[in-house]
Amino acid sequence: MSGAGPGSALLSDVRPWGGPPADVRVVDGVIAELLPVGTVPGAGEDVVDGRGRLLLPSFADVHVHLDSTGLGLPFRPHTGTPGVWGMMLNDRANWRGAEAPIADRTTEALGRMVARGTTSARSYAQVDVDAGLERLQAVLAAKEAHRDRATVEVIAFPQAGLLREAGSVELLDEAMSQGADVVGGIDPCLLDRDPARHLDLVFGLAEKHDAPIDVHLHEPDQLAKFSAELIVERTRAHGMTGRVTISHGYGLSALPREELLPLVEQFAELDIAWATIAPPSPLPTLLLAEHGVRVGLGEDGQRDYWSPYGNADMLDRTWQLAFTNGFRRDEHVEHCVAVATVGGRSVLGTAPALRDHLDRPGASVGDPADLLLVEGETVTAAVMDRSPDRTVLFRGRVVADGLELTGAA
């Protein structure tokens, strides 16, 4: 069974979230029934052999830079210099010289992500005076190539800022007109050094194009706090509740609890989401879950000019989220899986926020049949072992098996 689209399928002998074995009927892209093992398939119904594997929601990577990927290319030494501007200049100096055209690279990387279990993604597309709209078009090409395997939102991302180079704002505006879904922003204080003007431009473009916002925030603690407070103010003033995401937020994680908590409460009030990449200084995942803040996980770059890390496998990144948080208990590791799957969908607006760290949605009747079958004694064991024995379904149809795409897109 391959391809994507409506129809009926029976997933035989699977264990939803590691629970008791069941057969699962999928109809028109939605989980329709949980049935006893051994259910006889209906006439013409496709059967997927679960073989006792875990049934989980598929992954949602909500912070990935498809336009800078080096996956599938010869490994190259890291040549970047510390700091966002230096890293950006290193990328700018090298991205056109890679061994494969950029649209081929983006499409290859997205295919690898699907093959490993990701069927929802939010990708950045760098828009600046160097790249123009070329990198945006490459990400849009990948989105189109895999339209029957994954849903992709594209962020028009001003990696070089909006105020340092003439024409940057106009390019971002044009990118939104040319198919980008989300208006990006970055380090209003540290990079552009004019946070009010930067955020006014970002929120203005979002208002013009009726689009959500995603702001990269690499800034240190007090600068990050100041930028976040300005984002909160504008979210409230522009009526953007539920349409703003802060990505990274490293400095916010470093704040004392008495300074972070009021921000978290305002994020919850205005439904401001948070996307993390599981950095060494971990996001306060449990605190955010306690307050109902939408949180998703992403891989960031994938063996690119910024970093040699990243392999298109969100199960690996889920392990990293658990490891950097120091989690050992099953309930906490499973929470990381929830963040990496349904948590990411909540950031994309296709699922509600996790209610708390024990919430396990996404594999019950009525849930979308974007699913992952993976070998593992328990959900925690699957994260620790990261077996290649995986089958990926998108809208109820198999799109990958054994880390390989199946059939034509």
Q: Is the whole model's pTM more than 0.85, yes or no?
A: yes
CATH architecture of the domain formed by 60-348: Alpha-Beta Barrel (3.20)
Residue 232, H or E segment: helix 221-237
Residue 166 tokens read as 């003439």
State the Cα–Cα distance between residues 283 and 167, nearest whole angstrom. 35
**Alpha carbons 81 and 83: distance in angstroms, whole number:** 7
Question: Greater confidence, 85 or 407?
Answer: 85
140 is written with which tokens?
A: 């849009």
Asked if the model's pLDDT at residue 4 lies above 70, the reply is: no
Q: Indicate if the pLDDT at residue 333 is higher than 80.
A: yes
* Alpha-carbon separation of residue 47 from 4, 51, 269, 364, 400 (angstroms): 15, 12, 44, 18, 15
Statement: residue 408 has pLDDT above 80: no
Average pLDDT over residues 57-61: 98
CATH 3.20.20.140, the chain: domain bounds: 60-348
Dihedral angle of Cα 191, 300, 98, 138, to the nearest 10 degrees? -90
User: Does residue 54 contact residue 379 with C-beta atoms inside 8 Å?
Assistant: yes
**CA nearest to 114, candidates 396, 328, 394, 381:** 394
User: For the domain with range 8-57+362-405, which CATH number is right: 3.40.50.10490, 2.30.110.10, 3.50.30.10, 2.30.40.10?
Assistant: 2.30.40.10
Q: C-alpha 190: how far from its chain's center? A: 25
Tokens of 311: 């392999």
pLDDT at 409: 53
The pLDDT > 70 percentage for the chain reads 98
Contact 90/54 with Cβ under 8 angstroms? no
CA distance 133 to 127: 6
Spatial distance between the Cα atoms of 85 and 88, rounded to a whole number of angstroms: 5
CB 193 within 8 A of CB 226: no
The string of pLDDT tens digits covering residues 349-405 is 999 999 999 999 999 999 999 999 999 999 999 999 999 999 999 999 999 999 999
Other CB atoms within a 10 A radius of the CB of residue 229 amount to 14
Amino acid, single-letter form, for residue 231: I
Burial 111-139 (b: 16+ CB within 10 A, else e): bbbbbbbbbbbbbbbbbbebbebbbbbbb
For tokens 């802060």, name the residue. Answer: 246
State both tokens at 313.
Answer: 């496998």
Q: Quote the CA–CA distance of 304 and 286 in Å, as a whole number.
A: 31
Tokens encoding 25:
């009927």
Give tens-digit pLDDT for 348-357.
Answer: 999 999 999 9
Per-chain mean pLDDT for the chain = 96
Q: What is the pLDDT of residues 258-315, one digit of tens each?
A: 999 999 999 999 999 999 999 998 999 999 999 999 999 999 999 999 999 999 999 9
| Cα separations in angstroms, 61 against 67, 238, 277 | 15, 27, 9
Q: Is the pLDDT of residue 1 over 70?
A: no
Return d(Cα 150, Cα 9) in angstroms, integer. Answer: 19
How many angstroms separate the CA atoms of 295 and 275, rounded?
Answer: 6
Residues of the chain with CATH 2.30.40.10: 8-57+362-405
- Asked if residue 98 lies in contact with residue 40, where contact means CB atoms within 8 angstroms, the answer is no
For residue range 154-199, list pLDDT tens digits in order.
Answer: 999 999 999 999 999 999 999 999 999 999 999 999 999 999 999 9
| Residue at token pair 């979230």 | 17
Mean pLDDT of 107-134: 98
Q: Does residue 215 surpass a pLDDT of 70? A: yes
Distances (CA, A) of 14 to 36, 117, 327, 371, 394: 10, 16, 26, 11, 17
